[in-house]
Structure 1
Amino acid sequence: MHRRRRTALVLTAAIAAAAPLLTACGNDAHPGAAAVVGGQRISVAQLQDRVDEIRRAQRAAVPDETQYQQVLASTGSLTRDTLHNMVLDRVLHRAARDEGIAVTRRDIQQMRTGLEQQAGGAKGLETAWLEKYGIAPARLDDNLRLQLEAQKLAAKLGTDTTQPAFWKALSKASRELHVDLNPRYGSWDVQKSSRVDARTPWLREVTTAAGGQPATA
């Protein structure tokens, strides 16, 4: 997305440095699992399906073979990034639920409408989210729900997403969910509260809705 359209920071790089306290697990404990969150497995097959979905969207958006190979080269950590996003989605959803926060379809639609206006239409928004954040068009609304949950959680806590109170809520949710991450996809440094070999660009920069104000609905 064009830089002038990114009017505010919602979730900054600080959240990546203060990520939930996730612990690593081996394949022996959960064979076939990429991660276990709240007792529910994210299987390797489910993860691969999500990655394939993104790759298909990238292929459709970049028909030129040379350019597509450049896309592949620049997104070599897509599998790990995608798993990180899948886990963090569940952690943040739990933290929001603990605070009685809900996001409605109307909330999501309002945010999406504002973003589409900034991006020059629905296709422009889908392309921007795919290129910058690795979010397939079919998952766009899910990602907007995540952004809204983060905004509402921060507001409920009387803080913002750069402050310790917000990170503490995510860490609490992680402990409640007993997240186990398969080390083949990376690990979490518990003391530093940061993940090794993980990038979550869409958690560092999120475009706000039209008017330059966060879409809290």
Structure 2
Amino acid sequence: MMISTKIKLTKADRTKQYIIESMSDVFNKKGYSGTSITDIEATTGLSRGAIYGNFASKEEIALAVFDFNFAKTRSAVDKMMERERSFHAKIMVLVNVHKSVNDNPLFTACGSLLYNSPDTDEISVLMKDRAISAVLRKEKTVADLIQMGMKSGEFRKETDPKQVAIAIISLLEGGLMIWRKSGDSIRMSQVIASIEALMESIAN
């Protein structure tokens, strides 16, 4: 006899998850400052009382949405990386997720809450920490892939994995921030071309 290990969600858990999933795209498009409790009510169809019955604040919802979006994208990117054979191609999977920022559904989870804020002082310490943590995780992913590529002989042995990873992620994050503020999506193509050139420079 098999015993089911599936965890049953409580009504409160299901409501929380519904709010998080419903708001995942809204926070990404409008940012933390631009999203109001009224927006949350309109999007979810729940009353203010029901919303605050599940979350203590708008910030708590935003943090949960950020975690949900990041985990969703991380999972999707990992699966795409697994299909690639070269370490160069694996790194470019992560890079190219940012390429079509206007219509790439995966970008929803890659965008930082900071990008849409008119004033970064309005973003709490907790939210800044979440965004910084996400950037550092991406840097580590790239550095680890470069390190493995060096061991396999794909990349030059004198390559500094951390330095290259920081350069790649800095280019991406900077390009994304400028695109968010200016609406100039062409800049992302230029940024990715620069990253391609950088990758070519460390190839054996």
TM-score exceeds 0.5: no
TM (norm. structure 2) is 0.26
TM-score, normalised with respect to structure 1: 0.25
Considering only CA atoms, is the larger Rg found in Structure 1 or Structure 2? 2
Higher helix fraction: Structure 1 or Structure 2? 2
Structure scoring higher RCO (CA < 8 A, sep ≥ 6) equals 1
